[in-house]
Amino acid sequence: MAELETFPNRHRSRDYTIVHTCPEFTAVCPKTGQPDFGTIRISYVPDRRCVELKSLKLYLFTFRNRGIFYEHVTNVILDDLVRALRPRRMTVEGDFRVRGGISTVVQASYQARRRGRRP
Amino acid sequence: MAELETFPNRHRSRDYTIVHTCPEFTAVCPKTGQPDFGTIRISYVPDRRCVELKSLKLYLFTFRNRGIFYEHVTNVILDDLVRALRPRRMTVEGDFRVRGGISTVVQASYQARRRGRRP
Amino acid sequence: MAELETFPNRHRSRDYTIVHTCPEFTAVCPKTGQPDFGTIRISYVPDRRCVELKSLKLYLFTFRNRGIFYEHVTNVILDDLVRALRPRRMTVEGDFRVRGGISTVVQASYQARRRGRRP
Amino acid sequence: MAELETFPNRHRSRDYTIVHTCPEFTAVCPKTGQPDFGTIRISYVPDRRCVELKSLKLYLFTFRNRGIFYEHVTNVILDDLVRALRPRRMTVEGDFRVRGGISTVVQASYQARRRGRRP
Amino acid sequence: MAELETFPNRHRSRDYTIVHTCPEFTAVCPKTGQPDFGTIRISYVPDRRCVELKSLKLYLFTFRNRGIFYEHVTNVILDDLVRALRPRRMTVEGDFRVRGGISTVVQASYQARRRGRRP
Amino acid sequence: MAELETFPNRHRSRDYTIVHTCPEFTAVCPKTGQPDFGTIRISYVPDRRCVELKSLKLYLFTFRNRGIFYEHVTNVILDDLVRALRPRRMTVEGDFRVRGGISTVVQASYQARRRGRRP
Amino acid sequence: MAELETFPNRHRSRDYTIVHTCPEFTAVCPKTGQPDFGTIRISYVPDRRCVELKSLKLYLFTFRNRGIFYEHVTNVILDDLVRALRPRRMTVEGDFRVRGGISTVVQASYQARRRGRRP
Amino acid sequence: MAELETFPNRHRSRDYTIVHTCPEFTAVCPKTGQPDFGTIRISYVPDRRCVELKSLKLYLFTFRNRGIFYEHVTNVILDDLVRALRPRRMTVEGDFRVRGGISTVVQASYQARRRGRRP
Amino acid sequence: MAELETFPNRHRSRDYTIVHTCPEFTAVCPKTGQPDFGTIRISYVPDRRCVELKSLKLYLFTFRNRGIFYEHVTNVILDDLVRALRPRRMTVEGDFRVRGGISTVVQASYQARRRGRRP
Amino acid sequence: MAELETFPNRHRSRDYTIVHTCPEFTAVCPKTGQPDFGTIRISYVPDRRCVELKSLKLYLFTFRNRGIFYEHVTNVILDDLVRALRPRRMTVEGDFRVRGGISTVVQASYQARRRGRRP
């Protein structure tokens, strides 16, 4: 699996928000073997580390030929990013294209259990 | 009636949201016998079960030739889904096309009476 | 005046919202005698009764040749609908087209004084 | 009927185009007695006379309580304007709102039989 | 099958265009038995007869539970309307919603073989 | 200066909102002498008086050839309207077009110090 | 009146198009004394000279307090620019905001009588 | 390679157009090994055969892990479809997402050398 | 570095908001040496000083040939503006264009530690 | 100056179109020394060579700190690309952002003098 690289957050004294939007996400439906397509939106308040953009791109590409459901993939991306970045807060949203006339959005969030500092 | 199939929620430790949007909903007006058209949006926080997408599609198709009012159909879909999924929270929205120069949206919500865990 | 017809709310145990949007509203400016045009949006949480769509259309048509100001017409529609439906909550919004280079929106709300039950 | 007033075209040596768009058109359906709503677009190359804007507005208001079909109203407006202005070319388009789930556009044109001069 | 009713064209001396747009079209896929959804756009230059709007709506509803392919349904609607109206020109366009990640538009035209008269 | 005319609020028993949007605002930059252009949005909850639409238009036209900064003009309009109407609440927003590649919005609010009544 | 300044066209061997769009045009209605607002679009194929952008802006500002009709102002701008630039081709379009519920576009063109060279 | 399946065109006496739009196209850049994403639009006038929608989807999926340039892929799809369908006319357009701040569209067309029949 | 010029806030008795949007921001990626592009949005409640628009433009241009990361540049602009203006509240948002198929937004806020006055 | 690299066109037997759109173009105004921003659109029918995307990006970046007028830059890009590619046809469009309230588009085309072959 592609390593999620990080770099130090130079503005730790402040809670601020970073949003990455990747409209080029694709995986494979584990049931039908057909490709799924969607947009992944990642929003977080960094603590000590920020995610490096190129490694994020490569990480998202690892799903390309992997069979995985919408509900699962969104939670897995959240888990992997939380493990790599230990952010103060993070939300991952997967916005998937129409299948059988129905489009689907899955949104999962993480909130660090921490001592204070809120905007 | 089409069975609403479910699959186990693999991320129960977290409150997260799933939104299904079906712009291909049609039923029949019980008063005029004319078809009605609209978009059904279903948003929920799953507990033990998620709804399987294909069975959801088939379930929504069962209204195709059924005479039912806007206000009723939105509440009935909410009731059926709550019964099948026992979600933590759910909102169903029916957004119906113009009739007599007036468009109509009906939105109904369900909130499980439970012990805590809130995002 | 056209009678606002109602039908029984079959889902009284739940607070849910109904929104009717009528972009075909017209009245007459009492000052200039010129027609005014706009969109009327009605949003409410029903209690015992829902408004019947066709009678709502006919009711809104009664303003067609009536001289009435923007501020007044929005409040009058709210008053008439509250009287006919006794809703739990209701908002009426009149969104009127440009006159003298200025467009105008008037929004008025009603909240029943009642024993609890909130979504 | 409101008089269509005109004023002299000061730039007759040149073929140029004037487009008036009125999104506040309403008439009455002769079959159902219900109001119809739409947008009237008038595009013309003037010859000796241009239409005065205020009289155009008053002219269009004369249809407000008149029973007339979509196909007819568009052709009637074209005929009346051609009679009043004797333009080099003219197109009238009536773009009518949804009735029975169907919206309708009617477009009719006039071309003067004349000696040359083309842009 | 619903009768396509017509009424006399009162402006035969002029070639003019009528466009009807019906975004509430649905039929059934003959292969999968699943419903298809789309928008039907009909554009024509009438000769002696125009199509009556309500009968057009009822005609389009006859496809609701009929198994028929996109390519076929568009041509069939064109054939039926040409037979009923004998228009000077007509185009029918079926714009169908996404199936298997692909949306489809089918457009077919008819041109009467006649003596002249062109706008 | 044009007088801001008012008329009595006939629905004082209720807090309701009136929004006027004027996209035809222009003043002069006091520094460069060049015209500035923008949209003024006025939103208020009336108490005893509402602003008369035509006098509002004439009032906004008084800025046409006046040198005044963005920040100042928005606050001045708010002050003048508060003085004339004594509203329960009011917000004025000036949304000014690009100058030097930068567009600017200024938003100022007023809240009457009063005995209760909140929507 | 502001001088329309020009600079030499460095690419005379080629017919190419320059389009300037000014959404900040205002003049005064000669009938009502009220300000008019609109967008001026100028499109031309230069011959020996191009119009200098700042002088164009200042030229358009000269209409600010001048009473002039829509039809006239568009033709006058075309005449002035043709006189200053002697372009190969030019179109001026004035797109004016709603007055009395009607918006108006006036479009006038100029074509030099010249020896060939067409794109 | 996936077989492009076809079915007989039931309306051969008429030139009509079929447009398929697939916004879920992905291939691999042969230079960088990185995935490319885009929309493929196929528009054709069928002769004896139409392309079956599901086989078209499977055919487009065969590019998923194939290294191929934008210019080439668009022409290859056109060649393959022309070979399978022998259409009267066909256009293939590949609309590819931003790479290095630049987006790219490639459009190629085919026209059968045939005896007449034109719409 | 360009000086951020300020002018006195004439309406200090009131908390009001000023938003400047600059869609013409560019800097250089310190890793690749390639230009980055984006929109900078600055929103603040002034205290004693407002930022002068032209000096803000010149200040933002100083980043043009400077190597700096998205996360850093947004925080640096916030720090510089807070130092120059001492606002009551301020938010800076950098909305950067797609790189490697991913777009990025960074948003940072400042809140003065002060004695009360809240809108 | 950055070299415009090319690669062989593998589909020379067919006239087809390639469009590159770069919304990240910037140069410097030679008069004011201020940066200009815009979108460059390049559309061409290749003959023997296509332009390599990365070298095109680097070529467009060479204008970043160069003083050059709108009219000139568009023609220069066309000249440079025609020299490097010898295309069958090419159009370059520069779409520049608002300066002094006016936005500007410049469009120049090239057509090879050649033996036939037209789409």
Residues of chain J with Cβ-Cβ distance to F97 below 8 Å are 98, 101
The ipTM estimated for the assembled molecules is 0.91
Neighbours of chain F (3+ CB pairs under 8 A): C, G, I, J
Closest among G50, G81, G78 to J71, alpha carbons compared? G50
Question: What's the CA gap between J93 and J74, in Å, rounded?
Answer: 7
Distances (CA, A) of H68 to A25, E19, H38, H76, J82: 19, 43, 13, 10, 25
Distance from CA of H20 to the nearest CA of J (A): 19
Reported as a single tens digit per residue, the pLDDT across D26-37 is 999 998 899 999
Question: What's the CA gap between F72 and F77, in Å, rounded?
Answer: 9
Which pLDDT does position B72 carry in this prediction?
A: 95
Which pLDDT does position C54 carry in this prediction?
A: 94
Which pLDDT does position E3 carry in this prediction?
A: 86
Element (H, E) at A44: strand A35-45
Chain C within 8 Å of B74 (Cβ-Cβ)?
Answer: yes
Which pLDDT does position C115 carry in this prediction?
A: 53
Asked if the Cβ–Cβ distance from J24 to I34 is below 8 Å, we say: no
Mean pLDDT value of segment J44-67:
96
Reported as a single tens digit per residue, the pLDDT across E85-104 is 999 999 999 999 999 999 99
Which pLDDT does position E42 carry in this prediction?
A: 98
Asked if the Cβ–Cβ distance from I35 to J61 is below 8 Å, we say: yes
Residue C37: pLDDT over 80? yes
Single-letter code of the amino acid located at B32: T
Neighbours of C104 (CB within 10 A): 23
Mean pLDDT value of segment F40-54:
97
Which pLDDT does position E119 carry in this prediction?
A: 42
Residues of chain D with Cβ-Cβ distance to E46 below 8 Å are 71
Distances (CA, A) of D81 to B115, D36, D51, D55, I82: 72, 21, 8, 11, 63
Catalytic residue flag (residue A22) = no
Total residue count of chain A as it appears in this document: 119
Residue A40: pLDDT over 60? yes
With a cut of 50, list the residues of chain B below it in pLDDT.
116-119
Mean pLDDT value of segment C64-70:
94
Question: What's the CA gap between J105 and J39, in Å, rounded?
Answer: 9
How open is the CA angle C107-C18-C9, to the nearest 5 degrees?
130
> Cβ(D51)–Cβ(D84) under 8 Å?
yes
pLDDT, averaged in runs of 10, over chain G (119 residues): 88 97 96 94 98 96 95 97 98 96 97 64
Chain B within 8 Å of C74 (Cβ-Cβ)?
Answer: no
> Cβ(F92)–Cβ(F42) under 8 Å?
yes
Element (H, E) at D74: helix D70-85
> Cβ(J66)–Cβ(J14) under 8 Å?
no
Residue I26: pLDDT over 50? yes
Reported as a single tens digit per residue, the pLDDT across A64-107 is 999 999 999 999 999 999 999 999 999 999 999 999 999 999 99
Mean pLDDT value of segment H40-44:
98
Distance from CA of H103 to the nearest CA of J (A): 5
Token digits for D111?
A: 């071309």
> Cβ(E10)–Cβ(D69) under 8 Å?
no
Question: What's the CA gap between G92 and D16, in Å, rounded?
Answer: 10
Mean pLDDT value of segment J22-40:
95
**Closest partner CB to D37 (pick from C24, C34, C65):** C24
Put residue B8 in one of left, alpha, beta given phi > 0 → left and psi -120 to 50 → alpha: beta
Question: What's the CA gap between J53 and J60, in Å, rounded?
Answer: 11
How open is the CA angle G37-G40-G46, to the nearest 5 degrees?
165
Neighbours of chain J (3+ CB pairs under 8 A): F, G, H, I
Neighbours of F18 (CB within 10 A): 24
**Closest partner CB to D50 (pick from G71, G105, G109):** G71
Reported as a single tens digit per residue, the pLDDT across C86-98 is 999 999 999 999 9
pTM of the entire structure?
A: 0.94
Question: What's the CA gap between A41 and J51, in Å, rounded?
Answer: 33
pLDDT band at F2 (very low <50, low <70, confident <90, very high): low
The pLDDT mean for chain A works out to 93
Q: Mutation target for J interface from F29, F96, F98: give the one with most J CBs within 10 A.
A: F98
Nearest CA in chain H to E104: H20
State what percent of residues in chain A have pLDDT above 70.
93
